[in-house]
């Protein structure tokens, strides 16, 4: 498929670690990382919009987290400026305009709030920089809430975390509850007055990483939020078919209006994961990267899902969430 063309109504990916790829290679002196390394795969997979999450590595936390986040953003914005095929957007209308112009729309997000240090009000600065999605935690415990590493002794949302949720609501930023512990999850839902999302997670249909319970899925649906299964090879989740099982289960429990796609592809991060954790991660069979994302529609169709419901999952539900929260 030519890399200069893209469908105007394609798939929206609710979570990708593109900034991690960009900062790695720009720090080595390379340029146009998105165009060279990511564009061909996104085009082939039919992706026309993506939430690009800024994740600060553990070695920079907590005292260097803000500086690292700003450096990542600087590299990412520089790379975007060099691209003719990507465009940063800050609302639903901007996303649709970028798609209509044949570009891949990029919504800036965060994965972990350590970069705010002890001042949740600083999220206003990052909002001015274009950030529209706010993830409170990664797997670790921080000053806002507890991550999945602490799910068995989750202390819940802190006072600083509550203030961040309130600030995000004021700014109409979309809160992402991926990686969060169970008590913190429900504390956020009790605090927020806007819909939220779990951009990339697993359901209880197969044992995997960070399984979202059925009760959490139902609570997310009552909130008006959206859940996105991830394409991570872990536990019993190993293949495209397993991934589709997660989608179908989320649809049964939460309703099709509350399910989207957040594959969290990490094909371009395998070496970094091995270097940082020593883990030999494997890719999901038949859904290894963005080039295979069109297989999701084919398998859902084969299992009997209607085109209209598939379109809700591929893009419609996230667009509704953007309209409801971001504008």
| Structural domain spans, the chain | 11-325
Longest dimension (CA), the chain: 51
| Higher-pLDDT residue of 54, 4 | 54
Find the mean pLDDT for residues 275-299.
Answer: 91
Q: Which percentage of the chain shows pLDDT scores above 70?
A: 97
Question: Could you write out the three-class secondary structure of 79-102?
Answer: HHHCCCCEEECCCHHHHHHHHHCC
Residue with tokens 């600087």: 74
pTM (two decimals):
0.95
pLDDT in tens, 121-176: 999 999 999 999 999 999 999 999 999 888 889 999 999 999 999 999 999 999 99
Confidence of residue 272 (pLDDT cuts 50, 70, 90): confident
Whether residue 276 is predicted with pLDDT greater than 90 in this model: the reply is no
Average pLDDT over residues 27-34: 98
Q: Decide if pLDDT at 6 tops 50.
A: no
pLDDT given for residue 8 in this prediction: 62
All residues at 6 or more sequence positions from 252 whose CB lies less than 8 Å from its CB, including other chains: none
CATH class of 11-325: alpha beta
Nearest 10 degrees: Cα torsion 271, 273, 278, 279:
-100
The token pair at 138 is: 């990664």
pLDDT cut 90: percent of the chain above it: 91
Beta-carbon count within 10 A of 251 CB: 21
Alpha-carbon gap, residue 37 to 141, rounded angstroms: 33
What pLDDT is recorded for position 1? 34
Q: pLDDT band at 273, cuts 50/70/90? A: confident
Could you tell me if 113 and 135 are in contact, meaning their C-beta atoms sit under 8 angstroms apart?
yes
Question: Position of tokens 């839902």?
Answer: 189
- Give 209-255 pLDDT, tens digit per residue: 899 999 999 999 999 999 999 999 999 999 999 999 999 999 999 99
């Amino acid at each position: 498929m030519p890399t200069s063309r893209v469908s105007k109504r394609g798939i929206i990916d609710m979570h990708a670690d593109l900034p991690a790829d960009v900062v790695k290679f720009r720090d080595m002196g390379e340029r146009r990382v998105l165009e060279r390394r990511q564009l061909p795969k996104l085009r082939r997979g039919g992706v026309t919009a993506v939430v690009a999450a800024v994740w600060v590595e553990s070695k920079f936390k907590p005292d260097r987290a803000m500086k690292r986040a700003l450096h990542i953003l600087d590299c990412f914005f520089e790379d975007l400026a060099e691209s003719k095929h990507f465009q940063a957007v800050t609302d639903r209308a901007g996303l649709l305009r970028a798609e209509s112009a044949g570009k891949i729309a990029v919504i800036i997000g965060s994965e972990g709030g350590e970069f705010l240090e002890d001042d949740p009000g600083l999220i206003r600065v990052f909002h001015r920089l274009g950030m529209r999605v706010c993830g409170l935690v990664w797997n670790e415990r921080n000053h806002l809430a507890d991550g999945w590493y602490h799910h068995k002794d989750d202390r819940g949302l802190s006072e600083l975390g509550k203030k961040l949720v309130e600030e995000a609501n004021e700014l109409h930023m979309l809160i992402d509850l991926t990686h969060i512990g169970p008590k913190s999850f429900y504390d956020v839902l009790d605090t927020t007055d806007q819909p939220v999302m779990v951009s990339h997670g697993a359901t209880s249909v197969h044992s995997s990483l960070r399984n979202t319970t059925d009760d959490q899925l139902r609570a997310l649906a009552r909130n008006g939020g959206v859940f996105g299964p991830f394409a991570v090879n872990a536990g019993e989740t190993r293949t495209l078919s397993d991934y589709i099982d997660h989608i179908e289960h989320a649809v049964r429990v939460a309703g099709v209006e509350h399910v989207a796609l957040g594959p969290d592809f990490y094909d371009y991060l395998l070496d970094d994961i091995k270097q940082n954790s020593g883990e030999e991660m494997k890719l999901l069979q038949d859904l290894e990267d963005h080039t295979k994302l069109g297989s999701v529609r084919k398998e859902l169709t084969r299992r009997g899902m209607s085109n209209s419901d598939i379109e809700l999952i591929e893009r419609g539900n996230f667009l509704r969430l953007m309209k409801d929260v971001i504008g």
